[in-house]
Amino acid sequence: MTSIIVQRSQISGKVHCPSSKSYTHRAVAAASLADGHSKIGNPLLARDTLATVYACKALGVDIEYEDGELLIQGRDRLKVPENVINAENSGTTIRMIAAISSLTSGGFTILTGDDSLRRRPMNPLILGLQQLGVKCCSSKDDGTPPLITRGGGMRGGTAKIMGNVSSQFVSSLLLTSVRADSPTKIEIIGRQVSKPYIDATITTMDRFGAKVSGSADTILSVDPGSYKGTTFRIPSDFSSAAMVMAAGVLTGNEVIIEGLDFRLPQGDSKIIDIIRKMGGRIVIDTDKGEAKIYGCEVLNGGHFELTDSPDLLPVVSILALKACSSVYIEGIEHARLKETDRVANISQELVKLGVSVKEESDKLRINAPETLRNANLDAHDDHRLFMAFTIASMLTNKSEVNGAESVDVSYPQFVSEMRRLGADILPQSELES
């Protein structure tokens, strides 16, 4: 596993925000099922999204990349893949494709992934698909991948889904149910987490000509029909932008993020309000699509509820390192079911920096020390933890962070961007040579 050495740094300059991972996944899926030709502009080409592209190609969809666009010719009936589909580390990919592969002409689609993905829960999706007439199962019969889906189509009907684990189960059923034989209703049981991601799914479906009625708080309904080929430009990614904003607040002079898109729903845009609540200075220009972030010596503590934006957990956790009082992060139990148990791993690693952390099932309390210790931090092969720990290490004299290869999942240019802004980061291999 690749390590980097990070020394105390101050950053400044401009960064162009990466494209949205969530919207890239959804646009590729909808375009693959659309009647006609689609152009997906400004796509994110990272390990997770490429897993979705390759999965759709394995199902017979014609996808080419040309002049910064994905050119996709949709298919009414997908083909049975020639081989097992590898979703890599992408929960979105395996969950979407498990549903979409029910639309093959017959046969079976087998989906797997890396060690982390093969431990992630899939039972709500499996049960939901079964209620809609799709034969889907876990090959280990324990609700985790590999998954096996039988083709032949989706009947439709009513599926009841527990909302407390992931929004991806609902999104997967929504995207596919446009091609079902009869109207589909998805009834959410309990509180739905990460609702803005369902909003992103519905927005994408609307752009491709499919309508969803109802609410993610109760019942969502989709009538059978089709997607229409279209041109869709992927917005910027607030999940990645949030990391850069945190770096600007913690270690910045003035950092400008360009290319932001405030028009489409993204739950992680909540980071702007969080930074302001903590006393950080951030200036937003929605017309220019720009955010200016200024460094801050001391931040405020407070309570922060992340039920709808669990990917902000690593970001708020490192912002807490400059807080003058306790930071309470709540509504994060589902963050234990991401690429890693982020609640436990953040708690474990921040302690190495001398931070006081109290961990409960669905919350963290963080108290920062006067001075952070140098540490050897383990990102647990989790891209968001690697980025967060790299930024945290910029507040220490010299620390090591392993797992640099994980950022290929969502933000391949992260380390090079931080270095360009002035961060003192070197690969461990350069120090050893």
Q: Catalytic positions, please?
A: 311
Residue 253 burial (CB count, 10 A): 14
Strands 85-86 and 69-73: unpaired
Residues 319 and 269: their CA atoms lie apart, in Å, by: 16
- Give the list of residues 6+ apart from residue 176 with CB closer than 8 angstroms, or none: 33, 96, 99, 100, 102, 103, 154
Residues 17, 237 contacting (CB under 8 angstroms): yes
Residues 297, 279 contacting (CB under 8 angstroms): no
Tracing tokens 């009625």 back to the chain, one arrives at 213
Residues 364 and 360: their CA atoms lie apart, in Å, by: 6
Strand partners, 39: 71, 231
Question: Residue 410 corresponds to which tokens in the numbers above?
Answer: 């969502």
